[in-house]
Structures are given as structure tokens and as C-alpha cells.
A and B are shown apart, each in its own frame.
Chain A
Amino acid sequence: AQSVAQPEDQVNVAEGNPLTVKCTYSVSGNPYLFWYVQYPNRGLQFLLKYITGDNLVKGSYGFEAEFNKSQTSFHLKKPSALVSDSALYFCAVRDMVGNFNKFYFGSGTKLNVKP
């Protein structure tokens, strides 16, 4: 079965500093990995995805993620954090069952960016 794990419940970083939100995966076959962000009382918004190709994937709002096959990781990164980046971040893996997408989400990491 496909799964992802987010080992950190919360990440605190100062504005202007680099940030990393960790995600590890366990999949059979090629992994299709995603990052989503959720602001309070809102739905999830897509940030970026890795399907194939370059290991460094660039996404929305200056975020990027690095796919590392040997470490089975897909950490989310940003060179310089903003206070407005404070939100809940979810890593997800896609499982295909016939024509059907089913996504499995991590438990979420709360990012706090302090001014």
C-alpha cells in the first residue's frame, strides 16, 4: 500500500530563514508525490508535484521540493520564509486503481513563521 509520513507535527522558523518540511514515502512502483497547503478553515491548495524527471520540483509561492529516491523522501523547501507561509502542509501520494485516483495524505505539518 502507498503511504507518506510527515515526522514533524510543527515547524517553527523565523521570517527570512530557509524552511524545510519533511516527508517520507513508501510506495510500490514509481511514486507520484504531491504537496498541498491548507489555510485555516479552507480547502487544500495544490503546491507542487513530482511525477518523473528532475528531482528538484518547483511549485507555487516560491516553494520547491526535492525527490530523493535513495532516502525515499520528498521534502518541501523554501529559501526565504514569509509570515504568510504560516499554514498546514500536507504531503500526499497518489495510488491508481484502474482509472481511479486515490490520494493518501500525511498527517500534516503546521508551519509557523515568526516575524
Chain B
Amino acid sequence: SQTIHQWPATLVQPVGSPLSLECTVEGTSNPNLYWYRQAAGRGLQLLFYSIGIDQISSEVPQNLSASRPQDRQFILSSKKLLLSDSGFYLCAWSARQGEGYTFGSGTRLTVV
């Protein structure tokens, strides 16, 4: 069966520090991968999506970047965090032309 792993679960980082959040999927190949941010416990904003290795699309300009070095690995990064980067980050995957998403358990990022 397919599983998605996201870590760390919580992270407290100072302003200006770098960020790396990792997401991996098991039990499938060629997944579509996504990073979402949920601010203030509510709406979900699509940040990045990927259809394959090194194929990343950004939905909104921001302080973050994403990479996909392997088929089932999706990384969210920042060189210098801002206070406004705080939030709950969710990774998700779907099969090609699949009918739904499966979400990871999320990372609570607090920038102080």
C-alpha cells in the first residue's frame, strides 16, 4: 500500500535561518507531488507541485523553493526564513490522473 511520510512534525526556527522539510512517498511510482501551506489553521494555499524529477511549478512567488531530486522525494526549502513563513505545511501526493490526494501528517513551523 502507498504511504506518505513528512518530517519533522514540529520545528521552531529563528528568523534568517535556513529551512528544509522533507516528504517521501512509498509504494507508488511517478506520483504527482504537492506542497501546501495552511495559515492560521484554515485555508490551504498550494505552494508548489511537481509531475516528475526536477519538474517543479510554483503557484505563488515567495521566500520558499522546492526540489524533487528523486521520484518519490519532495523537499521544501528556504535560505532565510521570515516570520511570515510560519504555518502548517502539508505534503500530498496523487496518482497520475488519480482522483484524490493523500496528505502527509504535516509540519508545524514557527519562525521566531
Contact = CB atoms under 8 A, between A and B. Distances in A.
A22 interface: no
A43 B99 contact: no
Interface string B100-112: 1111111010000
Interface of B: 6, 32, 41-44, 46, 49, 51, 88, 90, 92, 94, 96-106, 108
B104 A43 contact: yes
Contacts, number: 57
A67 interface: no
Contacts of A32: 99
B106 A99 contact: no
Interface hub of A34, A94, A103 (most chain B Cβ within 10 A) = A103
Nearest to B51: A100
Category for how many chain A residues contact B: 20 to 34
Interface of A: 32, 34, 36, 41-46, 49, 51, 88, 90, 94, 96, 99-108
Nearest to A51: B99
Question: Secondary structure at chain A's binding surface: helix, strand, loop or mixed?
Answer: strand
A44 B42 contact: no
A49 B105 contact: no
A41 B100 contact: no
A88 B90 CA distance: 15
